């Protein structure tokens, strides 16, 4: 008689630390920062600025996410989606996580200050504090509007990238920030809708728990409408041309269709598809800005 035993290999220490930086979220943020770098110049940003700026912003973003994981360790342990994080399972101690975050953050600050410019360092540091402490400690556990109010920190990457190249943050950079700011609520609220049981266990006051699914669906739709209008501003002020306009119209039409289904014909599958599309949407929208920037007509 033979028996089969499932052997689960424990993640490596590197993998545990890597997960703390929420790499998929960080990649999207850094991608938007890089787009900001290219939009800030008619030519090439320069290798030092591009590499050092990307590295510094990534390191500080990773540090902020590590603090987030530490602060929310008990909450993460109650949620199926996050229960296997090393901080939630107690596999990384508070001291280890703090040292890791401080090392990443300190290195990121040094890179930005010495190899890019002080403005970028200070803006990125303010973003770090906004996400890691103001959003995570104050807003997220206390108000269902946490995503809206705290969304500014997550929306900052294009401004950080722009500052890295231009040593300035003009109106055009803030338009990009506004786009991500308006994108954040529908992106996260549809996640909270199909993960509502997880969030109910977590104790966090997410909108579907505090105000119900119908109200949240309406908010997803209204914010998507506002987002669609906001994405037209770069064209309206002459920052972008017809390539971007065409892309924005098509991408918004698809997003609006997804959001309408969430609002009027909700299903978990519709919410999942909307969440997935929202990530693709933002990536393609910013890619269209880049293409339009160099081939504007």
Q: In the predicted model, what is the mean pLDDT of the chain?
A: 92
Of 263, 234, 260, which Cα lies nearest the Cα of 247?
234
Confidence check: pLDDT of 8 > 60? no
Task: For residues 293 and 165, give the distance between their C-alpha atoms in angstroms, rounded to a whole number.
Answer: 15
CA angle 98, 100, 101 (to 5 degrees): 65
Task: For residues 261 and 246, give the distance between their C-alpha atoms in angstroms, rounded to a whole number.
Answer: 23
The enclosing H or E element of 255 equals helix 242-264
SS3 content of the chain, % helix, strand, coil (to 5): 75, 0, 25
pLDDT, one tens digit per residue, over 64-99 is 999 999 998 888 888 888 888 889 888 989 999 999
Confidence check: pLDDT of 2 > 90? no
User: Given this model, what pLDDT does residue 81 score?
Assistant: 82
Of 183, 181, 153, 162, which Cα lies nearest the Cα of 67?
153
Token reading at 242 = 């017809």
Q: Please, which pLDDT band fits residue 223 given cuts at 50, 70 and 90?
A: very high
CA angle 275, 278, 280 (to 5 degrees): 115
User: Given this model, what pLDDT does residue 262 score?
Assistant: 97
Confidence check: pLDDT of 10 > 70? no
User: Given this model, what pLDDT does residue 39 score?
Assistant: 96
All structural domains of the chain with their residue ranges: 12-169, 170-297
- CATH tag for 12-169 (out of 1.10.357.140, 3.40.50.620, 2.60.15.10, 3.40.50.720): 1.10.357.140
Q: Summarize the confidence of residues 167-172 as an average pLDDT.
A: 96
User: Given this model, what pLDDT does residue 6 score?
Assistant: 40
User: Given this model, what pLDDT does residue 7 score?
Assistant: 43
Q: Summarize the confidence of residues 275-281 as an average pLDDT.
A: 97
Q: Summarize the confidence of residues 128-136 as an average pLDDT.
A: 89
Q: Summarize the confidence of residues 242-247 as an average pLDDT.
A: 97
Coil/strand/helix, residue 81: coil
């Amino acid at each position: 008689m033979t028996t089969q035993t499932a052997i689960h290999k424990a993640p490596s220490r590197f993998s545990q630390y890597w997960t703390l930086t929420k790499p998929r979220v960080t990649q999207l943020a850094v991608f938007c920062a890089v787009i900001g770098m290219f939009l800030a110049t008619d030519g090439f940003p320069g290798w030092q600025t591009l590499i050092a700026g990307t590295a510094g912003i990534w390191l500080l973003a990773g540090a902020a996410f590590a603090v987030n994981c530490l602060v929310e360790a008990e909450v993460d342990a109650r949620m199926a989606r996050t229960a296997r994080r090393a901080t939630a399972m107690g596999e990384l101690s508070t001291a280890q996580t703090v040292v890791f975050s401080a090392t990443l953050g300190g290195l990121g600050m040094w890179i930005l200050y010495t190899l890019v410019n002080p403005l970028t360092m200070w803006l990125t540091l303010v973003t770090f504090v906004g996400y890691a402490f103001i959003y995570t400690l104050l807003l997220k556990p206390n108000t269902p509007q946490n995503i809206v109010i705290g969304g500014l920190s997550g929306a900052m990457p294009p401004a950080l990238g722009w500052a890295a190249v231009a040593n300035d943050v003009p109106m055009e950079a803030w338009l990009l920030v506004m786009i991500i700011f308006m994108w954040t609520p529908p992106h996260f609220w549809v996640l909270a809708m199909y993960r509502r049981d997880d969030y109910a266990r977590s104790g966090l006051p997410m909108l579907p728990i505090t105000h119900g699914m119908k109200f949240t669906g309406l908010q997803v739709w209204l914010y998507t409408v506002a987002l669609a209008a906001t994405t037209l501003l770069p064209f309206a002020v002459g920052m972008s041309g017809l390539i971007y306009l065409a892309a924005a119209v098509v991408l918004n039409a698809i997003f609006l269709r997804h959001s309408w289904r969430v609002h009027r014909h909700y299903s978990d599958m519709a919410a999942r598809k909307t969440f997935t599309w929202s990530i693709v949407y933002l990536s393609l929208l910013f890619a269209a800005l880049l293409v339009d920037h160099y081939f504007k007509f």
